[in-house]
Every structure is written in C-alpha cells, then in structure tokens.
Amino acid sequence: MTTSHEDAKERLLDAALVHVPFDGWSETCFRAAIADTGLDETLARAVCPRGAVDLALAFHRRGDAAMLERLKAEDLSDMKFRDRIAAAVRFRLEAVEDKEVVRRGVTLFSLPTHAADGAKAIWGTCDLIWTALGDTSQDVNWYTKRATLAAVYSSTILYWLGDDSPDHQATWEFLDRRIEDVMQFEKFKAQVRDNPLLKPLLAVPNWLAEQIHAPTDAVKDLPGSLSPRK
C-alpha cells in the first residue's frame, strides 16, 4: 500500500508531538518520529526536507484548520466585530492541547535561520482570521489589518504561555486590552483624517497609500505589492 506524502506527514507529526516537549522541534525529535512511525527515512526526508522545521509548520497549520472549523461552527453574528476578532484569536489558542509544544515552536522560530518562517506562519493565521470574518479590503488596509492583528496575536501568545490563571482568564483580559488599544488608535487616526487643519499635510501619505493594493494571487503571502491604479 502506497503512503501519500500528506498522510506520511500527518503520521510523522503525530509521532513527533510526543517527543517535542523533551527534544524540541529538533533533528533528534524528527528521527524519533521516523522510528515510531516505521516510515522509510528516504520518504520521510522527501516529505519533510527540513525535518522538524517542516513538522513545526505543519503543526501550526493544523491549529489554523481547527480554528477555522470552530469559526464555521460558532454563531458570532450577534457579536461586535472587535469581539469576533477576539473570539478567533481565542479559538486559535484553544486549538492547542500542549503549551510546551508551542513554547518549543517559539524557541525554534526565534532563531535567525527560521524567523522568516515564523513570521510567515503568524501572518498566514491573521490572514485566515480576517478572511474568515469577511474582510474585503483591497487597498493598504489589507496589510495594516493583518499587521496589526499579527502584533496583537504574537503578544497574546507570549502572555498565554506564561498564564496559569483559571481557564486562562488573564490571557483573554490581556487580549481584550490589546484590541482596545488598537481601537483607540484607529479612532485617533479617524480624528486626524477629519481634522480640516491636518488634511493638507496628509495629502501625500494618503496618495501613497492609495497606490498599495491587496495581493491578487490565490495564495497571499508576505509582503505585498505596490502598483499604480489602473
């Protein structure tokens, strides 16, 4: 029976999760996963050319998928939009069963050689959240929304990792404060835009912002594109 690459990766990931808390997302962990699954090493290396790094990214995507499934299942229609954002971030964190696996991932992606992978993974999560919640922006707001949420999400993860409060209540309060900070900043920007004395000063920055458009590729990635309006 032939094993598909996707099935092989899932099996390797399941096996690796037992070892990650002790060995991190490392070569030792990857070799242990190969041994536990009984997969041919050549196949394992073909499926995960970077070994445990590829498994760590697969683990992140698995969490994203669980978050999206929960977003589809929950009725958020009566919530304010800011509360929907908070709920999505909470669902993403609650998709994790073992904090230590995430802690080890933070350590891995803080290394210079893998920092870009970590940033791309977080950006991808934030893009999924905005898209799932119906964001249709096509201008510079496409980027600022995701960049802002990435900052909120990243800081919340770090807080959550050290939170031992019942049901992580302290984390959800921290998340609410971070979102409130963003909302206050957005209100400030709106006040500046509406101020007739400041409008002339914003003419050039606003013109530049209008030249930035959301990516048109099927798979949106970091960073964006700068193109003139048609």
Residue 93 maps to a domain: yes
Q: What is the mean pLDDT of residues 56-80?
A: 96
Residue 220 maps to a domain: yes
Judgement on whether residues 19 and 86 belong to the same structural domain of the protein = no
Helix axes of 52-73 and 27-37: crossing angle, nearest 10 degrees? 70
Cα distances (Å, whole numbers) of residue 155 to 28, 151, 175, 206: 30, 6, 9, 29
pLDDT tens-digit readout, 156-184: 999 999 999 999 999 999 999 999 988 87
Residue 167 maps to a domain: yes
Residue 56 maps to a domain: no
Amino acid at 45: R
Confidence (pLDDT) at 229: 38
Q: What's the total number of domains in the chain?
A: 2
Compute the distance between CA of residue 139 and CA of residue 215 in angstroms, rounded to an integer.
9
Q: What is the pLDDT of the chain when averaged over all its residues? A: 86
Least confident of 91-95, 100-104, 205-209: 205-209
152 is in which domain, residue-wise? Answer: 61-226
Judgement on whether residues 35 and 72 belong to the same structural domain of the protein = no
pLDDT tens-digit readout, 106-118: 999 999 999 999 9
